């Protein structure tokens, strides 16, 4: 994406002294609900009001949104509060209706981002418009697919672009609804530093009591904004009730969040940081050296298994290692989630080494 710096201009136009805040209900349910929430948010840090009009559900039979009538409610909310309005679009028809109702910000959901045909249809429908368009990460952890969605829109002449990190689905049970996989968003940020990056703690956590924690993590990682689902009566919301907060709670969350400086010009900070980073570099080199030696042992194990016609995968041994490492990791202050990821990656590399020896 050439001249990608143009993508940040729309964010700079807000002239914010704090992160961009997008908030509102998961779903527009009634005109009264939409307007009441909007009025409670208008005198807060919120710049953009969000509400789902069309709600793609995993299985049929659930509430799938009020449809186009909800766009009129958003128009009214905009007229009464001055907030910009945003909603999710999943096809060209949604785009057409959103444009007709002067919706300011459109986002492409995780289920749509996985489908290049759908993203291209939306890009064609939006060609050369001046709307702000945000692309949520795909359901699966695929950075190329996420970037591809942004590129399709950029190639259609849409320059007011940004991305929303809402976490990734996993079959593993974790404390998150959608595991963050922060490193994927960080990689996207490093490749396209001028592409605004917004965190969706509601969908990452699936639990309202974790929203502050994840929001602070995002700000610590230099995210540009947050999109938080907000409802006047979360427990009785028609969709995703567990992850929504009241406007009052939202204001409390933002009052407690700490926005960090990018760096410090103080000499003592820079000198101490240089020392600590040097120690990190040394530790990283040692880690790679240890891993390299471990894989040499894996090669020897592969040769022995080949000589004795023994299967590569030994589940009993693997489970013993995993259990032991989780316990040792806890003693060293490492989370179970991290240890699992680390040793699964090491185990996979070890298996690959053994397979190469056996099949070589």
Closest CA to 27 of 243, 244, 245, 239: 239
Q: How far apart are CA 311 and CA 214, in angstroms?
A: 43
Q: What is the distance between the alpha carbons of residues 38 and 33, in angstroms, rounded to a whole number?
A: 9
- Residue 59 belongs to what domain range? 4-256
Q: Identify whether 11 is part of a domain.
A: yes
pLDDT of residue 62: 77
Q: So what's the pLDDT on residue 3? A: 56
- Please report the pLDDT score of residue 267 as a whole number: 83
Helix axes 182-191, 143-155, angle to 10 degrees: 40
Q: Which of 199, 221, 256 is the last residue of a domain?
A: 256
Do the domain assignments include residue 297?
yes
Residues 208 and 275 in one domain: no
How many folded domains does the chain comprise? 2
Q: Render each residue's pLDDT in the chain as its tens digit; 360 residues.
A: 765 666 778 998 888 877 999 999 999 999 999 999 999 999 999 999 999 999 877 777 778 889 999 999 999 999 999 999 999 999 999 999 999 999 999 999 999 999 999 999 999 999 989 999 999 999 999 999 999 999 999 999 999 999 999 999 987 778 999 999 999 999 999 999 999 999 999 999 999 999 999 999 999 999 999 999 999 999 999 999 999 999 999 999 999 998 877 677 888 888 898 899 989 999 999 999 999 999 999 999 999 999 999 999 999 999 999 999 999 999 999 999 899 999 999 999 999 999 999 998
Structure tokens at 180: 């963050």
Sole residue written with tokens 């101490």:
272
pLDDT confidence of residue 144: 96
pLDDT, position 266: 86
Q: SS3 breakdown of the chain: % helix, strand, coil, rounded to 5? A: 55, 10, 35
pLDDT at 5: 66
Residue 229 and residue 337 share a domain: no
> Which DSSP string corresponds to 183-220?
HHHHHHHHH-TTS-EEE-HHHHHSSGGGHHHHHHHHHH
State whether 143 and 287 are in the same domain: no
Q: How far is CA 141 from CA 46, 110, 164, in A?
A: 29, 11, 13
200 and 281 share one domain: no
Domain boundary among 256, 289, 312: 256
- Is residue 281 domain-shared with residue 192, that is, in the same domain? no
Whether residues 325 and 188 share a domain: the answer is: no
Question: How many Å apart are CA 350 and CA 122, to the nearest integer?
Answer: 43
Answer yes or no: do 247 and 295 share one domain: no
The confidence score (pLDDT) of residue 213 equals 96
Is 127 strand, coil or helix? coil
Could you tell me the pTM of the whole model?
0.81
* Domain match, 61 and 114 both: yes
Among 103, 118, 25, smallest CA distance to 65 is for 25
Distance separating alpha carbons of residues 200 and 176, to the nearest angstrom: 12
- Indicate the residue among 198, 222, 256 that finishes a domain: 256
State the pLDDT at residue 253. 95
pLDDT of 264 reads 78
Residue 292 placed within a domain: yes
Around Cβ 117, how many Cβ atoms within 10 Å?
8
Residue listed under structure tokens 């595991």 = 179
């Amino acid at each position: 994406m050439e001249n990608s710096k143009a993508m940040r201009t729309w964010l700079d136009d807000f002239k914010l002294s704090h992160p961009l805040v997008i908030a509102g209900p998961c779903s527009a349910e009634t005109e009264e609900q939409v307007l009441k929430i909007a009025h409670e948010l208008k005198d807060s840090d919120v710049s953009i009001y969000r509400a789902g009009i069309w709600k793609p559900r995993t299985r049929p039979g659930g509430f799938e949104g009020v449809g186009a009538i909800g766009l009129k409610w958003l128009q009214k909310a905009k007229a009464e509060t001055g907030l910009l309005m945003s909603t999710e679009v999943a096809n060209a028809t949604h785009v057409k209706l959103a444009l007709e109702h002067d919706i300011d910000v459109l986002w492409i959901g995780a289920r749509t981002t996985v489908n290049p045909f759908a993203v291209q249809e939306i890009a064609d429908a939006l060609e050369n418009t001046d709307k702000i368009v945000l692309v949520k990460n795909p359901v699966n952890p695929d950075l190329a697919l996420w970037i591809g969605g942004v590129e399709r829109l950029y190639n259609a002449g849409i320059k007011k672009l940004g991305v929303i990190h809402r976490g990734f689905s996993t079959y593993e049970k974790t404390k998150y609804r959608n595991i963050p996989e922060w490193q994927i968003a960080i990689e996207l940020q490093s490749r396209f530093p001028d592409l605004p990056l917004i965190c969706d703690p509601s969908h990452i956590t699936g639990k309202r009591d974790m929203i502050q924690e994840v929001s602070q993590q995002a700000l610590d990682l230099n995210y540009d904004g947050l999109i938080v689902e907000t409802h006047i009566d979360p427990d009785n919301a028609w969709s995703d009730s567990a992850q929504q907060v009241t406007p009052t709670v939202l204001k409390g969350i933002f009052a407690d969040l700490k926005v960090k400086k990018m760096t410090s010009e103080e000499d003592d900070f820079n000198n101490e940081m240089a020392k600590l980073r040097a120690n990190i570099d040394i530790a990283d080199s040692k880690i790679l050296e240890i891993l390299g030696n471990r894989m040499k042992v894996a090669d020897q194990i592969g040769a022995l298994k080949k000589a004795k016609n023994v299967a590569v995968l030994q589940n009993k041994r693997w489970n013993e290692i995993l259990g032991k490492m989780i316990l040792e990791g806890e003693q060293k202050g490492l989370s179970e989630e991290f240890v699992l990821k680390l040793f699964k990656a090491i185990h996979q590399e070890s298996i690959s080494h053994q397979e190469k020896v056996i099949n070589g």
